[in-house]
Amino acid sequence: MNSAGSFRYTDQEIIEQLRQSGIDKRRSEEELFNRFAYFIREGITKHALSEDESFNAYSDTLLAAFENINNAHFEARASLKTYLYQIFHNKCVDLIRKKTTNKNSVHQAEAISDKLMLLSDSARSVVQKLIDKANWNQLREKLGQLEEKCRQLLMYWGDNYSDKEIASLLQYKTADVVKTSRLRCLERLRKLYKVE
Amino acid sequence: MDNLDYIESYFTKSPGLAETREFENRIGTDPAFAEEVAYYLSVLQVARQDAQEEKKRHFKEIYQKQRFTASVPVRKLVYYIAAAAVVTALIFGLYVFVQPPSPQQLAKQYEQANLQSLGVSMSGNSDPLETALGVYNDGKTSEALSMFEKIIQADTSYYTAKKYAGIAALRLKKYDSAIQWFEALDTYTGLHSNPAKFYLALTLMERNQSGDIAKAKDLLQQVVQDDGEEREIAQEWMMKMQ
């Protein structure tokens, strides 16, 4: 419980849970959502956004924060509230500026940028060009056509869950089985993707 | 699949200089391999976006459940106040001519309409709370109550579990137990939305022992004053219980 005596976890506990295990992580995401959900009202009153716009700005704020906390880009120099409010404020201002474009777009994930940085300039440029050619809509559609467990597995993988956590969540025997299953799912998806 | 395994190992472990050189050489000299690297990273990107969209949907469900009553734009408030005045006048008019239902009937009607099943998330994960909610929705209320109580034993500060334990106890007509859970929920003063007072009033109305209705009225009054959850229903009931 924090100093206000109302919530179950301190900032530090939430940060640790967001960086760790599956169910605790999900619960702490919800906890964080509930704790600062009043930002949505501020988006409406202070920035004159609609309720939907303000909700989207707040959700995108949390998604960006989860990613930064997970990648250890968040250094905890400020409280979570201050940190989240800064992101939220910027998202609201961005929304006001670009009100006509793509209001409901989700937070743009940068899952692969860190991975691409592991490559030298020349190799990165080759891969980036190929990625730019990818048919994202088709890939997403084919991902949706996989059997549910496969889709769930890839989603948890995309969400940075470890193989051990995925094993526990989806009731696989071991982390190794998760890895083998994931590679099979990727193979199956590639076949579906190639057919088109 | 061998290449995918190799690609995944490269990106998840810290490759040495020789491994990096070999990997990058293959990207430069083997177009099919480069395609596989791009495919692997593209799926990771799409899977990440899907996971985030799923989270956003889940947040939306939570948000809609908790209904941010104060989020109504000010310019619309005038119309709502006018509409509320008309509705209030109508309710008052009806009250004059029609005998209102008893507090116990009001409580039972609410329970039938709203507490027979409780919202579960679509995530399909194995969170014990979600499992218990599933059991509740299957009509196994007593079993669900035990599960909620176990969850609370494991984590005594889990306020959502206390809310559901209270609801399950109420459905089982274990009024004293329901009151205990809702009183415990009421101690969480910092939540932006806490239905404890409303549920306490509901339980007292249904129990209907000496002094219960007077206490329920006080609680409903507080719900209206604090703009709490189920404010509109609290207001309607106060009118009917006058």
- Does the pLDDT of residue B121 top 50, yes or no? yes
Helix-strand-coil split of chain A, %, nearest 5:
70, 0, 30
- Does the beta-carbon distance from B27 to A119 stay under 8 Å? yes
Entry pTM = 0.53
Q: Among A15-29, B46-60, B182-196, name the most confident range.
A: B46-60
pLDDT the model gives residue B165: 94
- Does the pLDDT of residue B59 top 80, yes or no? yes
Q: Hey, what amino acid is at A35?
A: R
**Arithmetic mean of pLDDT, B92-117:** 78
- Does the pLDDT of residue A5 top 60, yes or no? no
Residue B95 or residue A96, greater confidence: A96
pLDDT the model gives residue A103: 44
- How is residue B184 written in tokens? 């415990």
Local structure of residue B69 (DSSP, 8 states):
G
- Does the pLDDT of residue B92 top 70, yes or no? no
Contact indicator for B47, A139 with CB cutoff of 8 Å: no
CA distances from B131 to A22, A107, B61, B127, B149 (A): 16, 30, 18, 6, 13
Average predicted confidence (pLDDT) for chain B: 83
- Does the pLDDT of residue A179 top 90, yes or no? yes
**Arithmetic mean of pLDDT, B219-231:** 85
Give B-chain residues touching A21 at CB under 8 angstroms: none
Which contacts of A54-60 are long-range, i.e. CB under 8 A and separated by 24 or more positions?
A54/A92, A54/B71, A55/B59, A55/B60, A55/B63, A56/A95, A56/A103, A56/A104, A56/B56, A57/A88, A57/A91, A57/A92, A57/A95, A58/A88, A58/A91, A59/A106, A59/A107, A59/B55, A59/B56, A59/B59, A59/B60, A60/A91, A60/A106, A60/A107
Q: How far apart are CA B100 and CA B114, in angstroms?
A: 20
Give the model confidence (pLDDT) of B127-177 as tens digits: 788 788 888 888 889 999 999 999 999 888 888 889 999 999 999 999 999
Burial A151-175 (b: 16+ CB within 10 A, else e): bbbbbbbbbbbebebbbbbbebeee
Angle in degrees, 0-180, between the axes of helices A51-70 and A80-97, rounded to the nearest 10: 130
Is residue B231 classed as helix, strand or coil in its secondary structure? helix
Helix-strand-coil split of chain B, %, nearest 5:
75, 0, 25
Give the model confidence (pLDDT) of B179-195 as tens digits: 999 999 988 876 667 88
Q: How far is A27 from chain B (nearest CA, A)?
A: 9
Lowest-confidence pick of A180-194, B11-25, B46-60, B68-82: B68-82
Give A-chain residues touching B20 at CB under 8 angstroms: 118, 120
Residue among B34, B70, B73 minimizing CB distance to A130: B34
pLDDT the model gives residue A8: 62
Q: Hey, what amino acid is at B41?
A: L
- Does the beta-carbon distance from A140 to B59 stay under 8 Å? no
The region that residue A76 occupies, defined by phi over 0 for left and psi between -120 and 50 for alpha, beta otherwise, is left
CA distances from B194 to B67, B68, B183, B219 (A): 11, 11, 11, 13
- Does the pLDDT of residue B74 top 80, yes or no? no
pLDDT the model gives residue A4: 38
Q: Which residue has the tokens 């201050």?
A: A82
**Arithmetic mean of pLDDT, B217-240:** 86
Q: How far apart are CA B38 and CA A123, in angstroms?
A: 11
Give, for B4, the enclosing helix (H) or strand (E): helix B2-12
Q: Among A46-55, A187-196, B144-153, name the most confident range.
A: B144-153
CA B124 and chain centroid, separation? 16
- Does the pLDDT of residue A180 top 90, yes or no? yes
pLDDT the model gives residue A113: 67
pLDDT the model gives residue B95: 59
pLDDT the model gives residue B33: 93
Dihedral pair phi/psi, residue B52, rounded to 5°? -75, -35
pLDDT the model gives residue A3: 37
Q: How far apart are CA A23 and CA A17, in angstroms?
A: 9
Give the model confidence (pLDDT) of A89-135 as tens digits: 988 888 887 765 554 444 444 556 677 877 888 888 899 889 888 88
Give B-chain residues touching A116 at CB under 8 angstroms: 41
**Arithmetic mean of pLDDT, A146-163:** 90
Q: Which of B1, B8, B21, B43 is the best mutation test for A, with the most CBs of A within 10 A?
A: B43
Residue A175 or residue B119, greater confidence: A175
**Arithmetic mean of pLDDT, B31-55:** 90
Contact indicator for A128, A116 with CB cutoff of 8 Å: yes
Give B-chain residues touching A23 at CB under 8 angstroms: 125-127
Q: For chain A, what is the total number of helices (H) and then of strands (E)?
A: 11, 0
Q: How far is B54 from chain A (nearest CA, A)?
A: 9
Q: How far apart are CA B87 and CA B233, in angstroms?
A: 12
| CB atoms inside a 10 Å sphere around CB B159 | 20
**Arithmetic mean of pLDDT, B12-31:** 87
pLDDT the model gives residue B78: 66
- Does the beta-carbon distance from A130 to B55 stay under 8 Å? no
- Does the pLDDT of residue B35 top 80, yes or no? yes
Lowest-confidence pick of A61-75, B15-29, B123-137, B223-237: B123-137
